[in-house]
A = this chain, B = another copy of it.
Amino acid sequence: MIPTDLIKGSLKTIVLKLLKEEGPMHGYAITHKVEELTEGKMKLTYGALYPVLHKLEKDGSLVTASENFNNRIRIYYSLTPKGHTVVAERIKELNEFIESLQRIVDTKPGLSHA
């Protein structure tokens, strides 16, 4: 299992990226999708997820649409045009981040001064 503190900074980007590829999703589905994609290695907590969703809504990256499903309220979040712009930028940053992490992790002793 990936410790939650590693996920911290990437949560926002992960949420935006999923909404981009999957279309409108509700919070519960987002956590399940992440578990599915990562084979259970990454799990989001609701205490972290909902504040992020609300924040993205507030800043205009997401809009919500409530739906009634089996007497349960589902709140679907989807990207706004602004959200599409933001997600493109964020993914670019995340790719740079992944690349940088790999360089650091792949460093082997001696090679740096070879």
Residues in chain A within 8 A of chain B (CB atoms): 2-3, 5-10, 13-14, 17-18, 21-22, 34, 37-38, 41-42, 91, 93-105, 107-109, 112
Contact = CB atoms under 8 A, between A and B. Distances in A.
Nearest 5 A-B pairs (CB), nearest first?
Answer: A38-B100, A6-B9, A8-B9, A5-B9, A6-B97
A7 B97 contact: yes
Given A9-B7, A112-B21, A14 B104 contact: yes
B103 A10 contact: no
A91 to B, nearest CB: 6
Contact of A105 (B6, B17, B34, B104): B17
A22 B91 CA distance: 31
